[in-house]
Structure 1
Amino acid sequence: MANNSKSDKRKPLKLKTGSFDRNAAMARMGVMAGASYATHTFGNLFRNKSDREARNREFYVRQAQFLADELGQLKGSVMKVGQMLSVYGQYFMPPEAIEVLRSLQDDSPPVAWDDLAPVVRERLGAERLAELEIDEEPLAAASLGQVHRARRKSDGRELCIKIQYPQLADAIDSDIRTLTNIVRLARLVPKGIELNAIMEEVREMIYREVDYDRELRMTREFGERLAHDDRYVVPEVFPEYSTETVLVTSFEAASHVQSEAVKALAQPRRNRLGGAALELFFLEFFDWGIVQTDPHFGNYKIRVDEAGDDDKFVLLDFGATREFAPRFLGAYYDTVAGAFEYDQDKLIDGAIGISLLRRDSPQQVFDDFAKVGMLIIEPFTKEPPAEFATADHQYKWGESDLFWRVSRAVQDAAISRWFRIPPREIVFLHRRLGGVFVLMSVLDAEYNAHDMLAHYLYQEHGRIRPDAGSEASKDDV
């Protein structure tokens, strides 16, 4: 569950769960979005080209802000769709609109306890509920549910209760149909984009995240897989208190990655945490084929060791966990290996295999794409660029401007029209990978992961590393 530091300061929402309330609110959104577009289009008739482009950018921001404000009040699947549009939209929406929609990831007011208490009583039953003392103030609030702290009376065990908002699952299909029309009316998606296909993928993702039985299994599985690795803590699950829409786990004390306690850690301790963050992703991706795809910092907290230097990651919220098919993973491994080895042919073949590129693309597109791929691999080179490296060749994640350079390289190459909107596997995988990079930057880690990536690419999978390996020159590309 994503953490919301503002939740204790913001006025709780009265949840609109009735079909009439929700439909009325969404109908209003559609009317206002359509009227706004009509006004904007009429105004553009009297502007020159440069003014139209500037006004278009402003219009997209206004429409996205309107959508974000309205969805944030409705909660449920409509808000989640807005969040997912900020993930998918990076491939086809204006950057200004994406920035606005991303605010939905972090800015979710809680729902009033009075709306949730009857639901919890019904779902747990009077006997089970009587065993617990529940704090009415939420620890965290998100689009699909919120978390409350509790104490088991019999032994004082501290628990977390994740509560799905009432009637949420029943409204998913109708919400997505209505919101699809609203997004079209708001003109946030350009012509030629298969919005229905995108929304169908979002729909499947939302159904996965509201399946608390599955999340309980995934939490337990991650706990078992990491049980013998003292760098990570996974909450214990309590099936006796859990239902399809209520998930109860142990409460695990930890600090936010951006907290003063974490910032105050010595460099070696932050480096160790950075290595643990990277290796967790490599374990999930290369070894397990099971990846927790939500990179929100609220899901990756840090338990600071006050008595020593044994800091740990506390891993939360496994609702967005995805399983990846071996065939997809094999092609993706080739893509990564191609970049790691500076082997353009292998990189391009892998990118085609995972539907990032079209085989009929011009050679210049392949060349430009390879340059971008080999730029992304920069933190995993044996000797990173001097301006981002320590004397012993550790990569300075906090000082790197890699994201900006990659974005600039893609824009300069002008190859976007040859990209397909990637399949959902890639969208959510890259979402998590980008989150790892941001986490390393926030930790201000100094860490060279060359040997770690080589281990998972080759030793772990019995692959033979070419003689040239990563020692080849970038000039050979």
Structure 2
Amino acid sequence: MTDIPRRAVSRTAKLASLPLGFAGRTVLGFGKRVTGMATDVISAEIQERTAEQLFSVLGQLKGGAMKLGQALSVFEAALPDALAEPYREALTKLQEAAPPLPAATVHKVLAEQLGSDWRTLFREFDDVPAAAASIGQVHKAVWKVPRKRTGVPVAVKIQYPGAGDALIADLTQLSRLAGLFKVIQPGLDVKPLVTELRARVVEELDYELEAASQRAFAAAYAGDEEILVPQVLAAAPRVLVTEWVEGTPLSKIIGSGTVAQRDRAGALMATLHFSAPERAGLLHADPHPGNYRLLPDDRLAVIDFGAVARLPQGLPEPVGRITRLALAGRADEVLKGLQGEGFVRPNADIDAQAVLDYVRPMLEPLAVDEFRFTRAWLREEAARLASPRSPAYTLGRQLNLPPSYLMIHRVTLGSIGVLCQLEAKAHYRAILERWLPGFADPTD
């Protein structure tokens, strides 16, 4: 048994050690703390201990645990500080360097994927990894370029041997914790979300598929003044070579960045999110801070294209149209639009004004020319949607999330979570008017 499978067994054992009722207790604890009702059912002490136990387990894991942690990153900004801090610590551990592969193993993978003469492709190759991810590690190197002495600095992403099996095993175990999602959206059917996450993770194991996505993004943003996508220089099923990018990770900007850096990063994240479907026919579907760098020239560099949503027709026009109608207070048309897209079931007896009252607070960032996302704003929204005492809670349980919108919904929630962590202020309405089909007023 190699080192990697042995670590996979260890991860699975740790996940399996969680009590059978753990997920239910955790959801109860999170829900009550978020909605301010902890004393009604469970003591704060028990609740905090339960949360800390969960985060302690996640903090020891990589693979599927990191993927779940990234997908749930919106929680970090939505939770009260008492619970958010353990979550931040767990995510930090998940994103820190894993025990690196031995150099001999790295060389073996490179030989298998790039050929036995792989060393001739590089001027330099650092055997010590520069970073570690959920399914692989990244090495810094210098790629040879004909008739160029200096070469090109590159990032060489190498997939752990056996990572695929370990990742699927992790997600199978972690699916027991899927009830956590209901804290953010009580009406969400979690099973399709877990299925979708697993499908995307399987795609991430194919570095040639990732290379194709990255090349499409790079072509769409070539020469762009706001967004930089590194070029792909070589790709194999388990090795990916791309241009090296120097910049400040958003995780550092969240922790200690200036207001100007936060605002700039937020504006560019929103621009990428809404422009990519039109420009590249793709949506970058892994919006966590580790995948973005703010460059010295104020551009946003985007890395890791393993998870994308394919939207060849761009973002759905009804999203923009219904949003515009909601901001205009046209309740009947909003309800009709939501019914047409499957968000409201055909036989549901729902009042149009109640639906408008449900969605309108979520759209506050678009009701003004400039808006600052904050953790407080997200906590308030989470409480409104998750508290059984709130009318929004009851209505939310009657709504539906169509499968075709599942990925867009998840990525948008994750992006909002990062914007709230950044506490970024920007002209979000103007960004949507430019890039979201149906959002701009057709009479203008």
Normalised by the length of structure 1, the TM-score is 0.70
> How far did residue 71 of structure 1 move?
4.1
- Which residue of 1 is the match for residue 419 of structure 2? 437
Out of 159, 163, 178, the position equivalent to 2:158 is 163
> How far did residue 230 of structure 1 move?
1.9
Change (3 A) 1:234 1:321: same
Q: Which amino acid in structure 2 is aligned with residue 280 of structure 1?
A: L
> How far did residue 254 of structure 1 move?
1.2
Q: Which amino acid in structure 1 is aligned with residue 118 of structure 2?
A: R
- Which residue of 2 is the match for residue 294 of structure 1? 286
Which is greater in Rg?
A: 1
User: How many residue pairs get matched?
Assistant: 413
Q: Which amino acid in structure 2 is aligned with residue 337 of structure 1?
A: R
> How far did residue 256 of structure 1 move?
2.8
- Which residue of 2 is the match for residue 237 of structure 1? 232
Q: What is the CA–CA distance in structure 2 between the aligned matches of 1:259 and 1:94, rounded to whole Å?
A: 21
- Which residue of 1 is the match for residue 212 of structure 2? 217
2:409 is the alignment partner of 1:427: yes
What secondary structure sits across from 1:121 in the alignment?
helix
User: Residue 131 of structure 2 contacts residue 139 of structure 2 at CA under 8 Å; is this kept in 1?
Assistant: yes
User: Residue 230 of structure 2 contacts residue 302 of structure 2 at CA under 8 Å; is this kept in 1?
Assistant: yes
What secondary structure sits across from 1:283 in the alignment?
helix
What secondary structure sits across from 1:18 in the alignment?
helix
Change (3 A) 1:449 1:90: closer
User: Residue 33 of structure 1 contacts residue 63 of structure 1 at CA under 8 Å; is this kept in 2?
Assistant: no
- Which residue of 2 is the match for residue 80 of structure 1? 67
For 1:131-280, what aligned pairs fall within 5 Å after superposition? 131-132=121-122, 133-152=124-143, 155-180=150-175, 183=177, 197-239=192-234, 242-257=235-250, 258-259=252-253, 263=257, 274-280=266-272
> How far did residue 211 of structure 1 move?
1.7
Out of 117, 123, 141, the position equivalent to 1:127 is 117
- Which residue of 1 is the match for residue 330 of structure 2? 343
> How far did residue 429 of structure 1 move?
3.1
User: Residue 76 of structure 1 contacts residue 165 of structure 1 at CA under 8 Å; is this kept in 2?
Assistant: no
- Which residue of 2 is the match for residue 3 of structure 1? none
Change (3 A) 1:354 1:163: farther
Q: What is the CA–CA distance in structure 2 between the aligned matches of 1:38 and 1:288, rounded to whole Å?
A: 41
Q: What is the CA–CA distance in structure 1 between the aligned matches of 2:268 and 2:214, rounded to whole Å?
A: 19
> How far did residue 118 of structure 1 move?
0.9
Q: What is the CA–CA distance in structure 2 between the aligned matches of 1:418 and 1:95, rounded to whole Å?
A: 31
Question: Considering only aligned residues, what root-mean-square deviation do their CA atoms show, in Å?
Answer: 4.4
User: Residue 157 of structure 2 contacts residue 239 of structure 2 at CA under 8 Å; is this kept in 1?
Assistant: yes
> How far did residue 250 of structure 1 move?
0.8
> How far did residue 218 of structure 1 move?
1.2
Q: What is the CA–CA distance in structure 1 between the aligned matches of 2:75 and 2:422, rounded to whole Å?
A: 23
Question: CA deviation digits over 1:327-353, x for unaligned, max 9?
Answer: 981332333232343322333334344
> How far did residue 212 of structure 1 move?
1.0
Question: CA deviation digits over 1:250-293, x for unaligned, max 9?
Answer: 1121123444999458x5x8766654433322212455542102
Q: What is the CA–CA distance in structure 2 between the aligned matches of 1:314 and 1:35, rounded to whole Å?
A: 42
- Which residue of 1 is the match for residue 30 of structure 2? none
Q: What is the CA–CA distance in structure 2 between the aligned matches of 1:102 and 1:232, rounded to whole Å?
A: 27
Q: Which moved more, 1:332-341 or 1:57-66?
A: 57-66
Give the gaps of 5 or more residues in structure 1. Answer: 1-14, 41-48, 306-310, 385-393, 470-477
- Which residue of 1 is the match for residue 353 of structure 2? 367
- Which residue of 1 is the match for residue 398 of structure 2? 418
Higher relative contact order (CA 8 A, sep 6+): 2
> How far did residue 114 of structure 1 move?
4.0
Q: Which amino acid in structure 1 is aligned with residue 289 of structure 2?
A: F
Q: What is the CA–CA distance in structure 2 between the aligned matches of 1:428 and 1:228, rounded to whole Å?
A: 29
2:370 is the alignment partner of 1:395: yes
2:278 is the alignment partner of 1:303: no
User: Residue 83 of structure 1 contacts residue 104 of structure 1 at CA under 8 Å; is this kept in 2?
Assistant: no
Q: What is the CA–CA distance in structure 2 between the aligned matches of 1:38 and 1:260, rounded to whole Å?
A: 31
Change (3 A) 1:96 1:23: farther
What secondary structure sits across from 1:334 in the alignment?
helix
What secondary structure sits across from 1:221 in the alignment?
helix
Percent pairwise identity: 24
Change (3 A) 1:89 1:422: farther
> How far did residue 397 of structure 1 move?
1.5
Q: What is the CA–CA distance in structure 2 between the aligned matches of 1:270 and 1:183, rounded to whole Å?
A: 32
What secondary structure sits across from 2:126 in the alignment?
strand
Question: CA deviation digits over 1:330-378, x for unaligned, max 9?
Answer: 33233323234332233333434454443444434x4344234333333
User: Residue 339 of structure 2 contacts residue 346 of structure 2 at CA under 8 Å; is this kept in 1?
Assistant: yes
User: Residue 292 of structure 1 contacts residue 432 of structure 1 at CA under 8 Å; is this kept in 2?
Assistant: no
What secondary structure sits across from 2:4 in the alignment?
coil
